[in-house]
Structure 1
Amino acid sequence: MIEILSPAKLARARVTGALVGDILATLRERAVVGTNLLEIDAWARTMIEEAGADSCYVDYAPSFGRGPFGHHICTAVNDAVLHGLPHDRALADGDLLTLDLAVSLDGVAADAAVSFLVGEARPAESVALIDATERALAAAIAVAGPDARIGDLSHAIGSVLEAAGYPVNLEFGGHGIGSTMHQDPHVANAGRPGRGYRLRPGLVLALEPWAMVDTDRLVTDPDGWTLRSATGCRTAHSEHTVAVTEDGVEVLTLSSAARDGGALRS
């Protein structure tokens, strides 16, 4: 199903998106050396519930997972990249942590992810990987807008990742979002420009470039959820929920600080 949001529903999506952005920003600040992944999940639960919202993950039980997910946020460390199931693990200096959060508030969902390094260590390979996913996300946002096609966004993402030397996995990518977390259209992280569904005002998409240093193959943890690089290499994932407008695109999941700075608006 491809859902086109009414102006009233889009206004609610802005509120949900702002909540997601602010929760992720807070969790990023709190995630330090020694922080346990279960603490992050508990903090996320508290902030979501205090806002009167619901995590989209607690009851999430798709065909590819061993559901329900049962936690409020995805926490992926180092070689884990998607659907990271929170567990009893303390963060170490130099860990590459990805937080992926989807929340529903007043009947509208928003989804975002951020990857960052914990502590003081800054391994060059990890810095470059995170930067590539962020640039790929910005490139997709830059070409999104009314009359662009899904293939234009996919091509923009893939071009950045491939130019940086990273293989691209096409199993998981971006997606439509609105009344539910996952909707059509699928937004692959590589593709041909000028192809696919034509974007319309009111369409809301979760764009999520992710990459692994030296492989495009994933393996699944025994927990049935956490997806890791097949070679054990590091991974990164950047995601925003965006809304197509009459004259461009609006990023809905910016934090308050980023919104005040006018970041990522096209």
Structure 2
Amino acid sequence: MFFDQHRIEIKTPEQVRVMRAAGLVVGRTLARLREAVRPGITTGELDALAERSIREQGAVPSFLGYGVPPFPATICASVNDEVVHGIPGSRVLVEGDAISIDCGAIVFDDSGQGWHGDAAITVAVGSVRDEVAELMRVTEESLWRGLAAARIGGRVGDISHAVASYVRSQGVYGIVDGYTGHGIGTSMHMEPDVPNEGRPGRGPRLRQGTALAVEPMITLGTHDSDVAADDWTVVTTDGSWAAHYEHTFALTENGVWVLTAEDGGRARLEALGVPYGGTD
């Protein structure tokens, strides 16, 4: 591991493999949570399931105790007009809700250094309105377009431009201001920021060993948001519903390896004509 001139942490292949282990913990936990989402379950029950899943796999939750004030849970559970950072608790999910679940986990290498994985999904609770289902589809596809734009020698702005270009090609949606993807590795949030809109060919250069989390946050209305009284939950200012998807990826000598996807992203990347960079 070393840092480039932009203070971006560059990982060795061995360190990327530890991040893959953390990513699989996150991906498998999110799969369990997706199956558990139903009308009548509380966000707190989902949080308890997530913590149990992470610890049973030998990892540690990334989010629990993070930040100021300390985040009090294992997942972020953001419902309907809540964009990100929702605190799980007694809220009962009802038919027609849409919940964004953001999850992070830490796996430790042989030296005791922790390595992070971070991903998010948005899940329909039963049947949702057609416009919400389409918002979810657009947001998830924009994530994959961003991932597919990453390549050794490219720039962070290539990812940002790909995300925004796809969203704008699909209709009138809000791309939430002020919240971005990020570098990830020995910390959950590191340099560089990965905005969800930008100009291609701009920003830090992408190198083999770069690891980033890409996370579009898209709404049916405004790009503006507020932070609720709990100092964490981000909500849209106009009450419009939001969707949020995220994956952690690394650039290997062969291409993009989506560390938080069970198949490493192979199917989606190859469908987009992008070489698969995984080693498993």
Partner of 1:198, secondary structure, is: coil
Question: Which residue is 1:253 aligned to?
Answer: 260
Alpha-carbon separation, structure 2, partners of 1:34 and 1:238:
23
Contact 1:133 1:161 in 2 (8 A): yes
Shift of 1:260: 9.6
- For residue 30 of structure 2, the aligned residue among 20, 24, 27 is 24
Shift of 1:162: 2.2
Number of residue equivalences: 259
1:77 aligns with 2:83: no
- For residue 244 of structure 1, the aligned residue among 225, 248, 251 is 251
Alpha-carbon separation, structure 2, partners of 1:87 and 1:219:
20
Question: Which residue is 2:61 aligned to?
Answer: 55
Shift of 1:213: 0.9
What residue identity is the alignment partner of 1:77? V
Shift of 1:174: 0.6
Shift of 1:122: 2.8
Alpha-carbon separation, structure 1, partners of 2:214 and 2:191:
12
Question: Which residue is 2:181 aligned to?
Answer: 174
Cα distance change of structure 1 residues 52 and 29 upon mapping to structure 2, 3 Å threshold: same
Q: Which runs of 5+ in 1 are unaligned?
A: none
Cα distance change of structure 1 residues 137 and 88 upon mapping to structure 2, 3 Å threshold: same
Shift of 1:219: 1.4
Alpha-carbon separation, structure 2, partners of 1:177 and 1:170:
21
1:96-150 Cα distance to aligned partner (Å, 9 max, x none) = 011000111111101000012111x231110111111111111111111101100
Q: Relative contact order (C-alpha < 8 Å, sep 6+): which is higher?
A: 1
Shift of 1:261: 7.4
Alpha-carbon separation, structure 2, partners of 1:124 and 1:181:
34
- For residue 149 of structure 1, the aligned residue among 150, 155, 158 is 155
Q: Which runs of 5+ in 2 are unaligned?
A: 1-6, 109-113, 275-280
Contact 2:177 2:225 in 1 (8 A): no
Partner of 2:131, secondary structure, is: helix
Question: Which residue is 2:3 aligned to?
Answer: none
Question: Which residue is 2:233 aligned to?
Answer: 226
Q: TM-score, normalised by structure 1?
A: 0.94
Question: Which residue is 2:99 aligned to?
Answer: 97
Give the fraction of aligned pairs with identical amino acids, expressed as a percent: 40
Question: Which residue is 1:188 aligned to?
Answer: 195
Q: TM-score, normalised by structure 2?
A: 0.89
1:111 aligns with 2:113: no
Alpha-carbon separation, structure 2, partners of 1:228 and 1:72:
20
Contact 1:175 1:187 in 2 (8 A): yes
Question: Which residue is 2:49 aligned to?
Answer: 43
